[in-house]
Amino acid sequence: MKNLGLHEIRKEFLSFFEKKGHYVLPSFSLIPKNDKSLLLIGAGMAPMKKFFTGEATPPAKRVTTCQKCLRTGDIENVGKTDRHATFFEMLGNFSFGDYFKKEAIPWAWEFLTVNLEIPKEDLWVTVYFEDDEAYNIWKDEIGVPEEKIIRLGKEDNFWELEVGPSGPCTEIYVDRGLEYGSEDERPGGEGDRFIEVWNLVFTQFDKDEKGVYNPLAHPNIDTGMGLERISTVLQHANNIFEIDAIKEILEEIKNMSGYKYGLDKKLDESARVITDHIRAITFLVGDTVRPSNEGRGYVLRRLIRRAARHGRLLGLKKAFLYELCDLIIDSWGVEYKELIENREKIKDVIKGEEDKFLTTIESGMNILSGLIEKLEADNKKVLGGEDVFKLYDTYGFPPDLTREILWEKGLEIDQKGFEEKMDEQRERARNARDDSNIGWDSHADESVFEGYTNEFLGYDHNSCQGEITGIFKNYKEVESAEPGEKVMVLLDKTPFYGEGGGQVGDTGYIIGSDFKLRVFDTKKTREGLHLHLVEVLEGCLQKEKVGAEIDVERRNNIRRNHSVTHLLHKALKETLGSHVNQAGSLVEADRMRFDFTHYEAISKEDLKKIEARVNEKIFEDLPVVTTITNPQKAGEMGAIGLFEEKYGDLVRVLSMGDYSMELCGGTHVSNTAQISMFKILSESGVSSGVRRIESITGLAVYKYLLKADSLRDDLSRELKVNKSDILQKTKANIEEIKKLHKEIDKLEHDSAKDEVSKVLENIKTKGDINYVSYKFIDKDVNTLRDMADEIRSKISKIVILFAGIIDGKINFVCALSKDLVKNPYEAGKIIKDIAKIAGGSGGGRPDMATAGGKILEKVDDALNSLSDFI
C-alpha cells in the first residue's frame, strides 16, 4: 500500500480520472444552488443533480471532482466515535450518459490496486442483489473470487437522496485483517474489520417527492470515495483524527490548551469535536455562510458555539477558533482557493461569533447547571420551553446545544414549548421593525428570496418591460409600499446590474401604471438575483408590469471603466510579467481602482509605457465580443479569470480584439474606442505584494485636462511668461532663489563678524577684569547669546552685557567667562539688578542669564550701570 498524504491522494485521484478523459471540476460551494431540497451539500453528486436529469448541460460528459461536503445528522456522535465527522471531502467520477458499468468498475479497481497499491487480496465487493451485470464484471473481468462478491439488498446497495437521481450500486471494501474482527465477519455487517471505501452508483432513476422512481433518459455513473476514509486505510490510521493533515489540527489544539491527549476520554472528545468542527466552520464561512438563527446560518452558529463550548472544557478562556483557521487555510488552500481569498473575512466572522458567545457562556452555563440540578432534585426529565428559550435568547445557547448538554445527563428539552416562544418573539420583532431603514445586508439570511428567478437583460438593453415579482421590507415579503418608503424589489426581467465583480450597481427608475420608484442602488443576492433598492417617489407600489430604465450616462461611464480594467490587466502582464494577477477592483462611474499582485513599486517609465499601451489599444478600435461557453472551452480558448466561481455554469468570455480575453460577468463597451482615453492618476501599495492603480476614462479625462489647463493659465499669468515657458521660467526662478539665499547667508555672516569686532573694540578694564556692554537693534536673544559665547571664548576674565531691541521690546543677556563665575560675579544676579533699571526682570545660570525689559529710554542707563558691578 502506498503511504500517501490526504492532499496527495486527492491529487492522484483527480489526475487519474483526468487521464481517463474526465473534466476536472473544482468543488462546488457547500451552499446548494437552485435546490430547495437541500440545506447543504452532503454528497459529491448533489450539486450535479441537474446534469443527471438532463435539466442542465454539464461542462463535459465525464467529470471528476473532489467535493466538500457537510453532514450534521450525526453531530452528537462526532468525537465519540472514530468515524463520524461533519465536514468531509468526497472524491468522485461521473458519467452523464457516457460510460457505464464496464468502464466504471475496472477503473475503480485500477486506481485502488495500481495507483494506491492496495493488495488485491484485501479487497471485497458488494453488489445489488439483482445486478448480475455488475456481479459478472467483478467475477469475470476483474477476477474477484466469488466468495468475495456479496449480494446485498436495497438497504445496503441502492443509493438515493430524499429526492433526485438514484440507482443500484456496488461497493468496494478493504479487509483490515483479523486483528479488527472475526473470521466469519462479512462486508456490510456491523464490525470494524471491513471498511467501505468506494461506492459506485449506477444512476438510472430520478426519484420524485412522492417517492416514485422515474427512469432517466440515459444511465449515468456517480461514484463516491470519502477522502478521509481512504486516507485512514492508506495511512494505517485508527481513526480520522490520525490522518496527517487532520492530526495537525489536533496537535495545534493540544498546544493551545496544553492538555495531554489520551489521558481523559472526555477531554479527548472535546479536542476531537473542535478538530472536526473547525474545518466545517472554516469552509462554511469561506463559502459565504454567516452565523444566523435560521437555515445554514444556524448550522454554522451551532457548530461555532458547540466548538467554543468544548474549548472551554479544555480550559481555553479566550476566543481561539479563529486562531486555528490559518492552519486549515494554509493546508487545504492547495485545493480550495476560496479559503485563501477570504482568509481575513473567515477569521473575522468566526472570532466575532465566538466572542459574542463567550460574553454570555459563563452565566449561561451557571444557569443551565442550576436548572439541571433543579430538574434532578424534582425528579423531572424535561426542561421547559421557556427556559430553553431564555438560554437561547439571553445567553446565545442554540437549542440543540442545550439539548446535547442535557442528553449527557439523560434529560430532554421541551421542543414544542421552545418553538412557541420563538414564534412569539418573531412576532414582536416584526412589529418593532424600523420602517425608514432599507436594511440591505450582504450577510443577511436570504431564504426569503428562495424560489425567485430573474433574467438580466442589461448586457444589451438599457431599459425593458418587466414585472415586479417580489417586494421586501427588511427581508420580509410585503404586498405594497407607500411614497417615501424604501424597499427592495425583484423583477422577472431587469436591465439593472447588481453590484458584483467589482462593478457598482446601477441606478435609475422603475415606472408602474400609477407609481414611480427611484432605484438608488442594485445589489446581487448570494444566489445571483438582481435586487433593486428603491424609494417610492409617487403612487402605491404594487406587484405589476412595469417599465425599468437605468441611468444610461452613468452606466456608460461604468462600462468604460470596467472595459479598461481588462486592457490594463493585459498591459500590466505584458510590461511587468505574467506573475501579475488581478487581486480586486472597484469600478465606478467616475473612476476605477485596480489591485494586482506585484512585488515592488512600478517605475515611472513602466507606468508611462502601460498607460500608453492601454491608450494604443483604445485607439485601435478593437471589437469587444462576448462568447458564452463552458468553463472547459473557456480555458482552452486561453481566457484568464476566476474559473472556480463559475463552475458548472456557462461562463461569459470577453475578448477585446486578440489583445485580451477574460472571464467576466460585468457590462462593457462594444468596442474599445468607446473608452475614449485612459489616464492613470496614481500607483501605490495596498499590502505586501499587492499594488493599486487608480485611473479615469472618457469625459473624466477631458475634465482632468481642463483642470490641468486652467492651472497652466494661472501659472503663466503669475509668472508672466507664455504657457510654453512655464517650466523654464520656474527653473530659472528656483536657481535665482538659491543664489539669493546664498547671498543672504554671506551678508548675515559678515554683519555678525562686524558686530563682534565692534564689541571687541568697546572692551574696558578695571584691574584685571574686562567688561563690555553693547546695544543691538533687531537682533533676537539667541543671536545675542551666540555672540556673547564667541566673545567669552576669545577673551578671558570678561563680563559681557548685551541689550537687544526687537519689536519694541528689550532683551538683556549677561555672560561671564568661566574663570569669573562666583568670583565674585554671577550673571543671574547681575542681570536681575540691571534689568530692573529698564523695568524688567530675569535670571539664569551663574555664567549666562537673560532678562526682559520694557522702558526703552532706560536701556542706555542699564547698560552703563555695568561698570558699577565691576
Let me know: does 289 contact 300? Beta carbons within 8 Å.
Answer: yes
Rounding to the nearest 10 degrees, give the CA dihedral for residues 640, 642, 644, 648: -70
* Nearest distance, CB of residue 165 and ligand SER, angstroms: 9
* Nearest distance, CB of residue 223 and ligand SER, angstroms: 5
* Nearest distance, CB of residue 52 and ligand SER, angstroms: 10
Give the C-alpha separation, 159 to 668, whole Å: 46
Which residue's Cβ has the minimum distance to ligand SER? 224
Of the candidate spans 42-50, 261-269, 828-836, 848-856, the one that interacts with ligand SER by CB under 6 A turns out to be 42-50
The single residue among 60, 195, 201, 568 that binds ligand SER, judged by CB under 6 A, is 201
Of the candidate spans 122-130, 219-227, 577-585, 601-609, the one that interacts with ligand SER by CB under 6 A turns out to be 219-227
- The C-alpha angle with vertex 66 and arms to 64 and 72, in degrees rounded to 5, equals 135
* Nearest distance, CB of residue 199 and ligand SER, angstroms: 4
The single residue among 222, 521, 683, 826 that binds ligand SER, judged by CB under 6 A, is 222
Give the C-alpha separation, 817 to 830, whole Å: 14
- Helices 552-576 and 604-619, axial angle in degrees (round to 10): 130
Total site size for ligand SER, rule CB under 6 A = 10
Q: Does 96 sit near ligand SER (CB under 6 A)?
A: no
The single residue among 223, 282, 474, 695 that binds ligand SER, judged by CB under 6 A, is 223
Of the candidate spans 222-230, 311-319, 749-757, 848-856, the one that interacts with ligand SER by CB under 6 A turns out to be 222-230
Burial of 172 (0-12, 13-18, 19+ CB in 10 A): buried
Let me know: does 521 contact 570? Beta carbons within 8 Å.
Answer: no
Let me know: does 462 contact 509? Beta carbons within 8 Å.
Answer: no
Give the C-alpha separation, 482 to 487, whole Å: 10
Q: Residue 343 corresponds to which cell in the numbers above? A: 482568509
Which string of b and e fits 41-58 if b means at least 16 CB within 10 Å?
A: bbbbbbbbbbbbbeeeeb
Scan residues 490-549 and list those touching ligand SER (CB under 6 A): none
CA-nearest of 566, 517, 846, 563 to 698 is 563
- Secondary structure (H, E, C), 186-245: CCCCCCCCEEEEEEEEEEEEEECCCCCEEEEEEEEEEEEEEHHHHHHHHCCCCCHHHCHH
* Nearest distance, CB of residue 226 and ligand SER, angstroms: 8
The single residue among 86, 199, 585, 672 that binds ligand SER, judged by CB under 6 A, is 199
Scan residues 728-787 and list those touching ligand SER (CB under 6 A): none
- How distant, in Å, are the alpha carbons of 625, 744, 807 from that of 779? 77, 16, 10
Helices H, strands E: what count in the chain? 24, 33
**How many Cα atoms within 13 Å fall on the side-chain side of residue 711?**
7
The single residue among 224, 311, 458, 635 that binds ligand SER, judged by CB under 6 A, is 224
Which residue has 536673544 as its cell numbers?
781
The single residue among 45, 150, 639, 696 that binds ligand SER, judged by CB under 6 A, is 45
Q: Residue 41 corresponds to which cell in the numbers above? A: 451539500
Which residue has 420551553 as its cell numbers?
385
Q: How many C-beta atoms lie closer than 10 Å to residue 554's C-beta?
A: 16
- Secondary structure (H, E, C), 261-279: CCCCHHHHHHHHHHHHHHH
Residue 861: beta bridge partners?
Answer: none
* Nearest distance, CB of residue 38 and ligand SER, angstroms: 13
Of the candidate spans 221-229, 231-239, 614-622, 709-717, the one that interacts with ligand SER by CB under 6 A turns out to be 221-229
- Closer by beta carbon to ligand SER, 106 or else 417: 106
Of the candidate spans 37-45, 139-147, 210-218, 275-283, the one that interacts with ligand SER by CB under 6 A turns out to be 37-45
Residue type for 511, please?
I
* Nearest distance, CB of residue 439 and ligand SER, angstroms: 39
Burial of 638 (0-12, 13-18, 19+ CB in 10 A): exposed
* Nearest distance, CB of residue 108 and ligand SER, angstroms: 11
The secondary structure of residue 113, as a DSSP letter, is I
- Closer by beta carbon to ligand SER, 138 or else 496: 138
- Closer by beta carbon to ligand SER, 45 or else 487: 45
* Nearest distance, CB of residue 91 and ligand SER, angstroms: 9
Q: Residue 413 corresponds to which cell in the numbers above? A: 428539552
* Nearest distance, CB of residue 43 and ligand SER, angstroms: 4
- Closer by beta carbon to ligand SER, 159 or else 594: 159
- Closer by beta carbon to ligand SER, 45 or else 820: 45
Which string of b and e fits 466-482 if b means at least 16 CB within 10 Å?
A: bebebbbbbbeeeeebe
* Nearest distance, CB of residue 44 and ligand SER, angstroms: 5
Of the candidate spans 38-46, 274-282, 388-396, 724-732, the one that interacts with ligand SER by CB under 6 A turns out to be 38-46
Scan residues 150-179 and list those touching ligand SER (CB under 6 A): 159
Q: Assign 831 to helix, strand or coil.
A: helix
- Closer by beta carbon to ligand SER, 116 or else 669: 116
* Nearest distance, CB of residue 10 and ligand SER, angstroms: 15
Of the candidate spans 216-224, 341-349, 485-493, 828-836, the one that interacts with ligand SER by CB under 6 A turns out to be 216-224
The single residue among 14, 25, 43, 375 that binds ligand SER, judged by CB under 6 A, is 43
- Closer by beta carbon to ligand SER, 65 or else 672: 65
* Nearest distance, CB of residue 198 and ligand SER, angstroms: 9
Which residues contact ligand SER by CB under 6 A? 43-45, 92, 159, 199, 201, 222-224
